[in-house]
Amino acid sequence: MALLNIQAVSAQMDANFNAKILNFRMVDEGKYTVYRIQLTVDTYTWTVERRYSDFDVYDVARFTDRKKSFLPPKKRLGNKDLEFIEERRIELEKYVRALLELEVWYQKQKNVHSLPLISAKFFDFHQYVSYKLYKERNRNSKHLLFFF
């Protein structure tokens, strides 16, 4: 099932940026699996949960040329097997890290400091942006800023 060589994907994309899939859990009495992704930017860490089907929808939208996709393939039968799910977790982690590393590299080449909207939404980067704005606005303020 290995689509990416783990040595080819750096363990940490940038000194201030990292992503990994911590674990998975079966939902709705084992009908589907949710993968818990941990993202770290600077000193802020957050997690998002995504199903394989979420990855698939994202991948189709992000890589319209399906030849460029490196998402682990679907498996119709046996996709509830714990050994398979763990292997898929590892492959999805490689996918996430390689994808974000590629996105960051593309943006640096363009001298842009943000991810494409589709990727930012998929990984809930608004959580980090809200946190960063909160920290910046309160650095020199005696007032507490609340986000609702």
Question: Which pLDDT band, with edges at 50, 70 and 90, does 135 fall under?
Answer: low
Task: Give tens-digit pLDDT for 93-102.
Answer: 999 999 988 8
Q: What is d(CA 96, CA 88) in angstroms, rounded to the nearest whole number?
A: 12
SS (H, E, C) the chain: CCCCCHHHCCCCCECCEEEEEEEEEEECCCCEEEEEEEEEECCEEEEEEEEHHHHHHHHHHHCCCHHHCCCCCCCCCCCCCHHHHHHHHHHHHHHHHHHHHHHHHHHHHCCCCCCCHHHHHHCCHHHHHHHHHHHHHHCCCCCCCCCC
pTM, two decimal places: 0.77
Q: How confident is the model at residue 137 (pLDDT cuts 50, 70, 90)?
A: low
Give the domain 6-138 fold: PX Domain (3.30.1520)
Share of the chain above pLDDT 90, in %: 38
pLDDT(74) > 80: yes
Q: Where are the domains of the chain?
A: 6-138
User: Which of 95, 1, 113, 115 minimizes the C-alpha distance to 54?
Assistant: 95
- The pLDDT of residue 143 is above 70: no
What's the confidence (pLDDT) of residue 113?
73
Q: Pick the more confident residue, 73 or 135.
A: 73
Mean pLDDT of the chain: 80
